[in-house]
Structure 1
Amino acid sequence: MVRIVGFKQREKEDGTSFFILELQGGIEMTLSKETGQFYATAKKAYVTSTFDEQTCKALVGSEMPGSIQKKEVEPYNYVIQETGEELVLQHRWVFVPESDNTARQEKLVDQLMADNYIFSRNGVSDLAHQAI
């Protein structure tokens, strides 16, 4: 599940405005490479919307089934606002609806089951049975 935690107004190239929703996943514990200590964090992603400001305000706090996942993209520059440090990133965090996650998981299970000869029966693989 992800939660809508905010929204922001943006402008299109033609000058018209629209709103994006800020989504946040559940809490995760991450180990700091610098200190060796765990810290709490949550992944965030932004999705465009067709909603007006009033609707966006009303949606804050709502939950949606899905997750925020890392997606590889073409390299781009990113500046950390607090320090001014510029980084080159090759990923973005994107929202993936639960139905997409479920379909991917089912496809993976189907692929594994199609290759069921790799599984053993009583400690002897099917490949060994075929050789006999």
Structure 2
Amino acid sequence: MFNSKKTSKKMVRISNYQKRTTEEGKEFFTLELQGGVEIVKSQETGKNYMTARKASMSCTFDELTCQSLIGTELPGSVKKVECDAYEYTIKDTGEVITLSHRFEYVEQEAPIQTPQKSNTTIEEFMSKAPVGNAFSTNGQLVH
């Protein structure tokens, strides 16, 4: 007796992986997740361009498994999340900028279920109730 509100199913795609090293020297891998295509307006030129948000996620997989996962889609999206300010160096220009956000993978929320209102009267409901010790037929709890 529940209706599910239809939600568009957002997906991210595993687009790459990176080998990383912890401060203790232990190697591990991260998967690069890419969200859907977005149209954004340039603050400098005012023209539209296309982009996609990306986020990295640590994993316990070996390199071969990470390689085989490229192209896999997962339910969810990549969202912009506010964080403490930090410095970031733009690789192409070497310019150092201060950012106060990062991009993070967010799982898709389960569809919201809302109960359907029943048109059954109390008399109809009670006529279908089991007879005996299972339920009260007079509306009172009696052993």
TM-score higher than 0.5: yes
- Say if 2:36 is the partner of 1:26: yes
Give per-residue Cα distances to partners, 1:9-65, cap 9 Å, x unaligned.
000111110000000000011111222211110000000000000000000000000
Q: Distance in 2 between matches of 1:40 and 1:47?
A: 23
- Say if 2:86 is the partner of 1:69: no
Q: Distance in 1 between matches of 2:39 and 2:100?
A: 23
- Say if 2:69 is the partner of 1:56: no
User: Residue in 2 aligned with 1:44?
Assistant: 54
Q: Distance in 2 between matches of 1:21 and 1:67?
A: 14
Q: Distance in 1 between matches of 2:34 and 2:19?
A: 18
Q: Identity over aligned residues, as a percent?
A: 48
- Whose Rg is larger? 2
Q: Distance in 1 between matches of 2:99 and 2:110?
A: 28
Alignment: residue pair count: 103
Q: TM-score scaled by structure 1? A: 0.74
Q: TM-score scaled by structure 2? A: 0.69
Structure 1 outlier segments of 4+, above 2 Å:
none
Q: Which has the higher helix share?
A: 1
User: Residue in 2 aligned with 1:3?
Assistant: 13
Unpaired runs of 5+ residues, structure 2, are 1-10, 115-143
* RMSD between superposed Cα atoms in Å: 1.5
- Say if 2:109 is the partner of 1:81: no
Q: Distance in 1 between matches of 2:25 and 2:47?
A: 46
Unpaired runs of 5+ residues, structure 1, are 110-132
